[in-house]
Structure formats: C-alpha cells, structure tokens
C-alpha cells in the first residue's frame, strides 16, 4: 500500500510514525519511475512487509524533495527509526536493492 506524502509536515509525520519506511521520489512524467515503482512496491510487499511505502511527487512537493536533497528521479530513500539509512537514485537494480534492504531488515527482526 502506498501513502502519498503531499507536504513536508506529512512527510515528517510518516517518517517518525513508521519504524522502517521506503520513500519513493518521482515525477509524473518520468517513464523509468512509472515502470520501477510497482516493482519496488511488490518487492516490499513480498519480502519486507515491515517496511511502509511512501510516495513524493517532486513536481507538486518541491519542498520535501529539496529538504531531502533529491535532485534526480527516481530516488529511493530508506528510513529506519527516523534516520536515512540508504539512498538509491537513477539506475536502481532490484536485486541489489533487495540485498541492501535485507541487510537493514536484519537489524529489525
């Protein structure tokens, strides 16, 4: 399930209220983003159900993108206990992402 984060306050609340979270930064006109997003969501649903998924539209929520130093899309940021623990941008391989989230996940079992 996806949570749309519409402003910076909502983003902060999402990060603070979820022990582990993945936030996907994108724009509506990014074709790579459109293909990758459902694959990332499926990966989390199947392999990492403890991770919640948030979505930031960088066109309509520029402040949140800027506050997180997101300058390219797609960008995926993984948060654990409110802190950024992983950042992937542009060319995101699912196998590599799975491996890295698995390492993070091992700390929260």
Task: From 75, 84, 53, 59, select the one nearest 6 (Cα to Cα).
Answer: 59
Which CATH homologous superfamily contains domain 2-106?
Glutaredoxin (3.40.30.10)
Three-state DSSP class for residue 100: helix
Q: What is the mean pLDDT of residues 17-25?
A: 97
64/25 Cα distance (integer angstroms): 9
Give tens-digit pLDDT for 27-74.
999 999 999 999 999 999 999 999 999 999 999 999 999 999 999 999
Residue 96: asked if its preceding bond is cis (omega within 30°), the reply is no
27/78 Cα distance (integer angstroms): 18
Taking a C-beta distance cutoff of 8 angstroms, is the pair 54, 23 a contact?
yes
Judge whether residue 1 has pLDDT over 90.
Answer: no
């Amino acid at each position: 399930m996806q949570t749309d984060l519409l402003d910076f306050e909502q983003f902060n609340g999402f990060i603070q209220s979820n022990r582990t979270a993945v936030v996907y930064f994108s724009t509506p006109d990014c074709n790579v983003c459109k293909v990758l997003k459902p694959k990332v969501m499926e990966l989390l649903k199947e392999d990492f159900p403890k991770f919640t998924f948030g979505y930031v539209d960088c066109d309509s929520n520029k402040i949140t993108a800027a506050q997180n130093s997101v300058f390219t899309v797609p960008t995926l940021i993984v948060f654990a206990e409110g802190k950024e623990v992983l950042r992937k941008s542009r060319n995101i391989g699912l196998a590599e992402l799975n491996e890295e989230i698995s390492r993070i996940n091992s700390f929260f079992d």
